[in-house]
Chain A
Amino acid sequence: MVHLDIVRAANTALAKSQPLVAVFVGGTSGIGEYTLRALASAHGTTGKTLRVYLVGRNAASAVKILADCRKECAGSDFRFVQAKDLRLLRDVDKTCAEILRLEKEEEGNGGPARVDMLFMSQGLVLFGGRVGMLCLLLSNIKV
């Protein structure tokens, strides 16, 4: 197990190293949300600014999460990109095109148009996925 102290030190160092552009797909709840919150928390008031694209379906949840992040990281930029049904490649393409367009507008603002980190956790809320998670867990317990 990687010690949690190392994890936290690395996360803080990352946030302080350079301005970061991060995309969270399926970040309006669950592990995606917790990862975004961890990034905002590691950044705090001492990081080099973030630009975050939160992709998901649940606008109400996104508004709340992003408001918390803005409070924690003044001067950083948090955006919600609404998705409809990411099972469809058409919707994936639309979402990516939107991120590309928004990112091009920021060209030169803290570096080139880019994505430094892409986190994907969409789909885990499906029932199969969850029961699967339980089964996975049970299959992982070593007696």
Chain B
Amino acid sequence: MSLLYYSRMRFITQLQPLLQASTLPAHVVSVYAAGKEAKLFQDDLSLRDPAHYNFANARSHIVYMKTLFMEALADKNTQKLSMVHVFPNLVITPGFDREHYPLWFKAAWMVAAPFAGLFSVSQEESGERTLFLASSRYPARGTTMTEYGDVAIGTDGKRGSGAYAVNYDGEVIPTTGAYEKVVGGREELGKKVWEHTMEAFAEIEKGNAFTK
């Protein structure tokens, strides 16, 4: 979860002074599984309990936490910072041909690869579409001018609110439903995620292991 959540959020907070100095305003784009909120264990955000940890739950937690952390940053950086996390669909990258992958995957990929081209996004288009996420269609909170269609709706359900979950094709993924179901409410969870993440950063900065 480190590379996909803690490490990426740390990049944003560490580069924050430089991002705030941008006149665009600045755009942050994080490529992963936007919109894949599923199970949530509020008392085990970093999935320490082995019974909680599996790929699907890790993905779900990363997406929940990223959404809420980005919303908090959007709120603290009004007119300064826009943040998008994006679901990139299938893009055939060199990531599919690694020597250490299990045999079953290599075999499955050998069978699937000729057909994958039919519904995957080309490398060129993937690059262009990812770059587009830095456009004014996805503005920082409080800056809602765009020439490129409607201003996107943020993860909190409000138009132009600064944090966005976007599909590979540039359209917003509706995610508010998942957060309405959160026990205790999304605001509380947002606070919890912010504190959890900042505590992780602080502990590791001090040279301690973060065990929560």
- Interface residues, chain A, with chain B CB atoms under 8 Å away: 1-2, 4, 6-11, 13-14, 18, 21, 23, 25, 29-39, 42, 86-90, 92-93, 95-97, 99-100, 103, 111-134, 136-137, 140-141
Contacts and interface: CB of A to CB of B under 8 A. Distances in A.
Contacts of B11: 25, 92, 95-96, 118, 120
Contact of B8 (A117, A122, A130, A132): A122
Interface stretch (B23-31, B156-164, B176-184, B188-196): B23-31
Nearest to B122: A34
B21 A114 contact: yes
B59 A93 contact: no
Given A37-B127, A89-B7, A117-B27, A130 B33 contact: no
A114 B98 CA distance: 36
B22 interface: yes
Contact of B90 (A29, A86, A122, A134): A134
Given A87-B3, A93-B10, A131 B55 contact: yes
Given A1-B169, A2-B149, A130 B96 contact: yes
A7 B201 contact: no
B148 interface: yes
Interface of B: 2-4, 6-8, 10-12, 14-15, 17-19, 21-24, 26-33, 36, 55, 58-59, 87-91, 93-96, 98, 100-102, 105, 119, 123-132, 134-137, 147-149, 169-171, 201, 204-205
Given A117-B28, A118-B26, A118-B29, 16 more contacts: A31-B88, A31-B126, A35-B130, A87-B7, A90-B204, A93-B10, A100-B17, A116-B22, A118-B12, A118-B19, A118-B27, A120-B31, A124-B32, A125-B93, A133-B88, A136-B87
Contact of B123 (A34, A95, A130): A34
Contact of A89 (B6, B128, B147): B6
Given A123-B4, A124-B95, A133 B90 contact: yes
A18 B136 CA distance: 14
Top 9 A-B residue pairs of the complex, sorted by shortest distance between their CB atoms? A34-B127, A123-B3, A2-B170, A38-B127, A96-B14, A114-B21, A30-B93, A1-B169, A125-B95
In this complex, the member of A9, A99, A119, A129 whose beta carbon has the largest number of chain B beta carbons within 10 angstroms is: A119
Contacts of B24: 18, 116-117
B6 to A, nearest CB: 7
Given A120-B29, A125-B93, A131-B55, A8 B14 contact: no
A70 to B, nearest CB: 17
12 contacts: A4-B125, A10-B137, A11-B135, A25-B11, A31-B31, A35-B131, A89-B10, A95-B11, A117-B29, A128-B55, A132-B55, A137-B119
